[in-house]
Amino acid sequence: MPEKKEYDVVIVGGGPGGLTTGIMCADRKLDVLVLEGGTWGGLLATLYPNKVIPNYPGFPDGIVAIELVRRWLKQAKASGIDMKNERVVEITSDKKVIAQDGKEYNGKVIIIAVGIRPRELGIPGESKFNKKDKGVFYYVTHPEDFIGKRVLVVGGGDTAIDAALDLVDLAKEITIAHRKEAFRGVDENVEKMKKSTKINIVMNTELEKIEGEDVVTSVTLWNNREDKSYSMDVDGVILSVGMVPNSEIFDKVGIKADKRGYIITDTSQRTNVEGVFAVGDIVEGAFKLIIVGAAHGAVAAHHAYAYINKPYWAAEEQWKE
C-alpha cells in the first residue's frame, strides 16, 4: 500500500503537546501524522516515568507519568492517527518535513511540538559518564539505582530540590550544590530539605569536573565566593540545571524565536511562517506544565482546521482578533 504523499497535519514531536494536538486534530476529522524520533511521551516517558503528576486535571489523587502517556497513546491510536517513530532533521518553508532516513512528508499544516531537553553543563567528564548508567544523570528516573550511594545534586530549582528529597530514604549521602545564595524552588520543599539531616547543602558552589575510570568516583567543586576548589568522593551526579529547546530542526525555515531558541507564536499558536504552528514547551513564554501543552493542542487544532478548510466562521474569528 503506497504511503500518503500529503497529510492535513504533520506534527513533529510525540510528547504531551504533540500527542494531545494529534488527538484534537483527529477529533476535527483531519488526516494526521505524528513523527517522534525518540520515545513516545517525551520527557514523561524518558526522564520521570514513575513520577506522580499531581496537577493534571481529572486525577485528584495524581497519576503516574507513564500511565498518562499510555492513555494518550491509546486514544491517539483509536483516533486513527498515523504515528511513525522517525527522527525529523529539517522542516522547509513549503511545509515539507524531512526525516533522518531521507523520507519526506508533506502537510497542509505543520505543527512543531519538539519540546525541550535537559541542559548540559559541558564540563570535563560529563559526556564520558552521562550514558549507560555510568554515574551522570539529569533526573532521578529510577530512584532504586541510588540506594546506598553518595549523590551530588547540582541545581537550585524545583527539579534539583525534588531530586534531593526523592533520595532521602535511599541514598547514603546527599549533597546539593547551587551556584547562587538562595534556592528558587517552592518554599515548602526548600524548608523540608533544610530540615533533613541527610542532605548537605552547599551554596555559591559550582561543579567544575567529574572524574572516574569506568564510573563516576569523584567531583571537583568550586566555591565562587571564596574562589576555592575542592574534591568530593561521590557515586553519582544529578545535573538539574534547567532545560533548553530542541530548536535545531527549524533553524533554516525562518521561524522567529527568542534569543534562547523558543518559538514565538500568536494566541492561535501560529508562527510567523504561514501554515506552521507550535505547541507545548518549545513555545516562548509557555508555562512548563502538561496542561499547557494540552491547551495549546486544542487551540492549534482549531486554527489548523480553519486554515485548511476555511469555514465561514474563520473569517469572523479573524475579524474579532
Average confidence (pLDDT) over 60-69: 96
**Among 34, 8, 13, CA closest to 293:** 13
Q: Do 168 and 306 fall into the same domain?
A: no
> How high is the pLDDT of residue 80?
94
Distance of CA 214 to the CA centre of its chain: 29
Q: Which of 186, 206, 239 is the last residue in one of the domains?
A: 239
Instruction: Let me know if residue 183 belongs to a domain.
Output: yes
Q: Do 220 and 258 fall into the same domain?
A: no
For the stretch 266-283, pLDDT in tens is 999 999 999 999 999 999
- What's the CATH number where 206 sits? 3.50.50.60
Q: Do 133 and 76 fall into the same domain?
A: no
What angle (nearest 5°) sits at the alpha carbon of residue 23, between those of residues 22 and 28? 95
CB atoms within 10 A of CB 98: 15
Q: Which of 206, 223, 239 is the last residue in one of the domains?
A: 239
Q: What does the alpha-carbon distance between residue 198 and residue 192 come to, in Å, rounded to a whole number?
A: 11
User: CB-based burial of residue 101 (10 Å sphere; 0-12 exposed, 13-18 middle, 19+ buried)?
Assistant: exposed
Cell 559541558, residue?
A: 122
Q: Which of 196, 211, 239 is the last residue in one of the domains?
A: 239
Q: Do 111 and 257 fall into the same domain?
A: yes
Domain holding 217, by residue range, is: 126-239
Q: Do 174 and 271 fall into the same domain?
A: no
> How high is the pLDDT of residue 5?
65
Average confidence (pLDDT) over 76-104: 93
For the stretch 139-177, pLDDT in tens is 998 899 999 999 999 999 999 999 999 999 999 999 999
CB atoms within 10 A of CB 172: 13
Q: Do 110 and 251 fall into the same domain?
A: yes
CB atoms within 10 A of CB 134: 16
Q: What does the alpha-carbon distance between residue 257 and residue 195 come to, in Å, rounded to a whole number?
A: 42
**Cell triple for residue 144?**
532504586
Q: How many domains does the chain have?
A: 2
Instruction: Let me know if residue 1 belongs to a domain.
Output: no
- What's the DSSP call for residue 143? G
Cβ-Cβ contacts under 8 Å for 74 (sequence gap 6 or more): none
The distance in angstroms from the start CA to the end CA of the chain is 44
Which of 63-77, 90-104, 163-177, 219-233 is predicted with the least confidence, judged by mean pLDDT?
90-104
Average confidence (pLDDT) over 100-116: 95
Average confidence (pLDDT) over 250-270: 93
Q: Do 34 and 172 fall into the same domain?
A: no
pTM for this predicted structure: 0.89
Average confidence (pLDDT) over 179-189: 93
